[in-house]
Amino acid sequence: MRNIIIAGNWKMNKTFDEAGNFLKEISDFVKGKVIDNIDIIICPPSLYLEMTTDFADNKIFIGSQNVSNYEYGAYTGEISAKMLKSIDIDYCIIGHSERRKYFNESNQLINEKLKILQKFGIKPIVCIGETLEERESGITEKVITSQLKGVLKNVTINQDVIIAYEPIWAIGTGKTATPSQAQEIHNLIRKWLLENYSMKIAEDTSILYGGSVNPKNIKELLMKPDIDGGLIGGASLDIVKFKEIIRIALEI
C-alpha cells in the first residue's frame, strides 16, 4: 500500500519566526498520534531549511522548493543537491509550474535536476500539469505524456520518485479539478508508468494532486484509487486548515 502524502509548499511566504512556530504546532499536533499511513512533508523557503529540519522525524519530513541542476561551482544564488543532503533534506520539488512559467524551466532542465537529486539520495517531487488553454483545446493527455517523457528521460524510477499532477489552471485560483477529473489524469499517469516501466513501478509510485487543495475537498480526492495525497499551497500556510487536512487524511 502506498502511504498518503500530505505535502505543504509554502512558496515565498512566512518569516523565520512564523516558520518555527508553525512547525512546532504541527509537531505538537502529530505527537502521540499513530500516523504510519501518512507522510507529512513541509517545503519552506530555502532560508529556513536548516531550522525546520529540527522538527523532522519519522512523521514530519522537510523538502526544498528547488535545486540547481549543477553539482557545484560558480552559480551565484543557487543551492546544490549536495548542500541539501548535508542538512538532511529528504525531498525536493522540481518542475513546479511557477518555475516553468517565471524562470523558463524546461523538461530537459527538470530532468537534469531529477537525476542530480537521485545521485544524492533526495526524493524528487516532480510536477506536471496543463494550462487551461491546453485543457480546453483537448490536448491534456498529449501535454501530460510529453512532460512525463521529458522529465523522466533515461531515469530509473523506484519508490524515491513522486509525481505531482497540478493542473495549472487550478493553482492559487480557488478552482480545482473535480475528483473525477483528477482521477482521470492520475490514472493516465499510472498507465504510462506501467507501459514505460513496469507493473511494480506503476503500483508503487505515489502520485499527488495539487491545485487549490483544502479541507473541503481533500477527503473526496483521497478516496480516488490513484490519488495518493496532495501538494498543497495556500492551505498549507494556514495552521488550522493544514491540521484539518492531516486529521481528515488520518481517518481514511
pLDDT digits (tens, 9 = 90+) for 72-99: 999 999 999 999 999 999 999 999 999 9
* Among 98, 130, 166, 186, the one annotated catalytic: 166
Q: Are 62 and 89 in contact (CB under 8 A)?
A: yes
Mean pLDDT score across all residues of the chain: 95
Percent of the chain past pLDDT 90, that is, above it, reads 87
* Cα separation, 172 vs 189, whole angstroms: 23
Pairing label, strands 207-209, 38-43: unpaired
Active site residue 251: no
* Among 96, 105, 130, 186, the one annotated catalytic: 96
- Per-residue pLDDT at 32 exceeds 90: no
CATH of 4-250, one of 3.30.450.20, 1.20.1250.20, 3.20.20.70, 3.40.190.10: 3.20.20.70
Residue 214 is classified by DSSP as: -
pLDDT score at 75: 98
- Per-residue pLDDT at 163 exceeds 80: yes
Annotated domain spans of the chain: 4-250
Question: pTM, whole model, 2 decimals?
Answer: 0.95
- Per-residue pLDDT at 246 exceeds 90: yes
Give the pLDDT band (50/70/90) at residue 136.
Answer: confident
If one compares 33 and 164, the residue with the highest pLDDT of the two is 164
- Per-residue pLDDT at 54 exceeds 80: yes
- Per-residue pLDDT at 1 exceeds 80: no
Q: How large is the average pLDDT for residues 113-126?
A: 98
Cα of first residue to Cα of last residue in the chain, in angstroms, is 13
Give the pLDDT band (50/70/90) at residue 69.
Answer: very high
C-alpha cell at 220: 473526496
Q: 177: number of CA atoms within 13 Å, CB side?
A: 28
Active site residue 96: yes
Least confident of 49-53, 57-61, 151-155, 226-230: 57-61
